[in-house]
């Protein structure tokens, strides 16, 4: 054991050296000085942004997100789409907003760049929405040119709603500063065009920003405790205020929280202690990697809890360590030195369960101490929100336009990690395993039929379909993907995709094209995977396989003849395994390509068909109904349904709930 520990230490030191050479192409830096005024519920600030034109075009404008203006009136796009609700009801007499004061822009020659400013609404033209600010420059910024932008601002926080605000003397400060949009290349009339991707703040859909280096100085009353993105560099008392400075490289957002009531726990994740030799062996075999390539880094853990939730400290720590371990082993080391978790106080539900780089909010409740929620909900939230440091934290897709890439992939990974920690990964619908896959399947079933495909802008989904298309359907699509290609192929694919696209902004097309290349030497799998992904992401096609009938006929030569009719509802094309169990116990397995609406099978044997199982291992997780996949013929030739195990029974129960809803 001592020899093993020495080897792990050596590998860890090597990994630090290797990791330090990795670079992230930060196109921007933010230096922000902010002061919280609790009585006024405001943050006054000044930011200095260093940015360069990383496009190949001259730019004549700059676009900024001003998210807090979503809570400025009842006529903003967010308020209209949400009805003023998202984890809380906003009181317009105490609204939120961000007011912009002096702005200066200096070019590479040190001279001021003149401009005009105006609010724009690129998505819906709403004249009452002021969540996007456009600066029209009188002098263009040439490709590669660096500029310095200084902005004075005041952010008025609303009562807790939509991820931020205040509750009592607790402040969750998110989307609180002017933030630049992202330059994107689009194709218009056959030509490529550089434009700003800077959407308004919508009810559905989250955020999209460039990777940047942040240094943020925060002043709060001296008795307040501050949790924030990044590493804390310094803390000191000045004139009755506490000044805390945080810094982090290569993150795409910065959030923080402050309260005098927080109970603070400081811990560390030590890979030498947390990862066993057996776990290294398991993931080495799963991913086809040498154990030396799987070594992780130590991580400082900070947990900020409301006093009424102090009993959740140990469970928070245990769950967070598990998430750091399994996300790290599956996809690579968590690259930052610190992870900070904040538990909002009672009444602040609207700010719970939200992710930011190196910082997230959980969301506890006294009810979570007791079954049935005790062993599921809290751990799920922590695991999911930490996981966003990988999916959208590093693989930083556009959450407004393609929410499935972060929410869907991360929900699949969260379910996988919870299965590794609490249950059996091989049996996602089994009674003896902890499985949040069942939760996603229930949500998927009750939402059918869907009227929009997964690949839809978040605010354009029909009512009720954002969550299903962003979380639940992608989870089942990826689970089907995994079941078809096998665990090893799937997780090697997903790790490779993560490695290629971390610290960048991939799209759905990147995901599909990467799959095409990854499975290029396995043409049969490639064909199935591409068909699965293109139908699953770009269409609303459904599938429901079922056994239509089984007929038996006895002929004069003492042979039994069986006719089995298998059908499918829906146009989704996917191969499916069918298992035929004969009366003497022998088994015949046949693959049906699933292209047509039905398939007839004939058997001439001394034994008739006793049972029929479509997809006996329930690999096709997107199948709408498992209960009709199984058929059993009794000796009296009466046909009865056969229910396989808890996954099928629960699917039936969930289907009933779906009907009731």
> Residue 426 has what pLDDT?
57
For domain 28-210, which architecture applies? Sandwich (2.60)
Identify the CATH class of 544-660: mainly beta
For residue range 437-484, list pLDDT tens digits in order. 888 999 999 999 999 999 999 999 999 999 999 999 999 999 999 999
The CATH code for residues 2-20+264-382 is 3.30.2010.30
Q: Determine the Cα–Cα distance for residues 226 and 262; give it in Å rounded to an integer.
A: 9
Q: Is 112 helix (H, G, I), strand (E, B) or coil?
A: strand
Q: Residue 541 pLDDT more than 70?
A: yes
Q: Please check whether residue 364 is in contact with residue 382, taking contact to mean a CB–CB distance below 8 angstroms.
A: no
Buried b (16+ CB within 10 A) or exposed e, 543-570: bbbbbeebebeeeeeeebbbebebbbeb
Give the domain ranges of the chain.
Answer: 2-20+264-382, 28-210, 403-500, 544-660
Task: Tell me what the mean pLDDT of segment 401-425 comes to.
Answer: 90
For residue range 208-231, list pLDDT tens digits in order. 999 999 999 999 999 999 999 999
Q: In which region does residue 473 sit, left (phi positive, over 0), alpha (psi from -120 to 50) or beta (all else)?
A: alpha
Q: Strand 587-592 relative to strand 231-238: parallel, antiparallel, unpaired?
A: unpaired
State the average pLDDT for the chain.
Answer: 89
Q: Please check whether residue 619 is in contact with residue 427, taking contact to mean a CB–CB distance below 8 angstroms.
A: no
Tokens of 646: 């808890």
Question: What pTM value is reported for the model?
Answer: 0.90
Q: Please check whether residue 424 is in contact with residue 430, taking contact to mean a CB–CB distance below 8 angstroms.
A: yes
For residue range 113-167, list pLDDT tens digits in order. 999 999 999 999 999 999 999 999 999 999 999 999 999 999 999 999 888 999 9
Q: Please check whether residue 176 is in contact with residue 43, taking contact to mean a CB–CB distance below 8 angstroms.
A: yes
Q: How far is CA 511 from the centre of its chain?
A: 15
Task: Tell me what the mean pLDDT of segment 329-334 comes to.
Answer: 97
Task: Tell me what the mean pLDDT of segment 8-20 comes to.
Answer: 38
Q: Is there a common fold for 2-20+264-382 and 544-660?
A: no
Q: Which residues contact 556 (CB under 8 A, 6 or more apart)?
A: none
For residue range 156-178, list pLDDT tens digits in order. 999 998 889 999 999 999 999 99
For residue range 251-297, list pLDDT tens digits in order. 999 999 999 999 999 999 999 999 999 999 999 999 999 999 999 99
Q: Place 659 in a pLDDT band, splitting at 50, 70 and 90.
A: very low
């Amino acid at each position: 054991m001592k020899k093993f520990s020495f080897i792990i230490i050596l590998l860890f030191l090597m990994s630090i050296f290797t990791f330090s050479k990795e670079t992230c192409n930060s196109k921007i830096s933010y230096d922000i000085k902010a002061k919280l005024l609790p009585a006024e519920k405001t943050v006054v600030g000044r930011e200095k942004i260093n940015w360069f034109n990383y496009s190949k075009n001259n730019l004549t404008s700059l676009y900024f997100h001003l998210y807090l203006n979503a809570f400025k009136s009842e006529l903003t796009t967010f308020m209209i789409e949400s009805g003023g609700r998202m984890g809380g009801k906003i009181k317009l007499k105490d609204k939120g907003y961000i007011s912009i004061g002096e702005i200066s822009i200096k070019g590479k020659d040190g001279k001021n760049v003149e401009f005009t400013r105006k609010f724009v609404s690129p998505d819906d033209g709403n004249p009452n929405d002021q969540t996007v600010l456009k600066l029209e420059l009188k002098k263009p910024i040439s490709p590669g040119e660096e500029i310095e932008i200084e902005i004075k601002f005041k952010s008025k926080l609303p009562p807790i709603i939509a991820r931020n605000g205040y509750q009592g003397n607790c402040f969750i400060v998110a989307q609180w500063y002017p933030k630049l949009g992202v330059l994107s290349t689009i194709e218009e009339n056959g030509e490529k065009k550089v434009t700003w991707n800077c959407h308004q703040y919508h009810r559905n859909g989250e955020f999209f920003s460039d990777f940047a280096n942040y240094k943020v100085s925060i002043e709060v009353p001296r008795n307040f405790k501050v949790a924030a993105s990044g590493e804390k560099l310094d803390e000191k008392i000045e004139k009755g205020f506490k000044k805390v400075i945080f810094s982090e490289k290569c993150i795409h957002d910065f959030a923080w929280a402050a309260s005098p009531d927080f109970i603070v726990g400081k811990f560390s994740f030590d890979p030498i202690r947390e990862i066993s030799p057996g776990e290294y062996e398991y993931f080495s075999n799963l991913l086809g990697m040498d154990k030396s390539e799987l070594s992780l880094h130590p991580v400082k853990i900070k947990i900020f809890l409301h006093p009424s939730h102090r009993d959740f400290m140990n469970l928070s720590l245990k769950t967070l360590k598990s998430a750091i371990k399994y996300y790290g082993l599956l996809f690579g080391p968590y690259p930052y030195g610190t992870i900070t978790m904040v538990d909002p106080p009672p009444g602040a539900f609207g700010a719970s369960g939200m992710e930011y780089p190196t910082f997230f909010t959980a969301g506890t409740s006294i009810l979570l101490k007791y079954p049935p929620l005790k062993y599921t909900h809290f751990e799920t939230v922590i695991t999911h929100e930490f996981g966003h440091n990988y999916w959208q934290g590093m693989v930083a897709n556009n959450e407004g336009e393609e929410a499935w890439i972060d929410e869907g992939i991360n929900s699949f990974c969260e379910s996988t990690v919870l299965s590794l920690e609490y249950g059996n990964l091989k049996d996602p619908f089994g009674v003896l395993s902890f499985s949040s896959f069942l939760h996603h399947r229930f949500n998927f079933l009750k939402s059918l039929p869907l009227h929009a495909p997964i690949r839809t802008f978040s605010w354009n989904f029909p009512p009720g379909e954002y969550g299903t298309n962003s979380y639940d359907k992608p989870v089942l699509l990826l689970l089907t993907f995994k079941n078809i290609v096998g665990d090893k192929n799937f997780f090697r694919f997903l790790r490779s995709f993560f490695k290629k696209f971390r610290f960048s902004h991939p799209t759905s097309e990147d995901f599909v094209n990467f799959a095409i290349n990854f499975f290029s030497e396995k043409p049969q799998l490639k064909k199935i995977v591409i068909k699965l992904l293109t139908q699953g992401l770009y269409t609303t096609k459904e599938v429901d396989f079922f056994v239509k009938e089984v007929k038996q006929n006895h002929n004069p030569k003492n042979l039994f003849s069986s006719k089995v009719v298998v059908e499918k509802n829906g146009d989704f094309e996917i191969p499916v395994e069918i298992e035929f169990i004969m009366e003497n116990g022998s088994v015949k397995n046949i693959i049906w390509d699933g292209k047509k609406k039905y398939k007839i099978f004939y058997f001439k044997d001394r034994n008739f068909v006793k049972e029929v199982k479509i997809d006996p291992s329930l690999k096709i997780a997107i199948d709408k109904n498992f209960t009709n996949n199984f058929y059993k013929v009794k000796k009296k030739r009466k046909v009865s349904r056969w229910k396989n195990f808890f996954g099928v029974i629960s699917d039936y129960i969930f289907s009933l709930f779906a009907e009731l809803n």
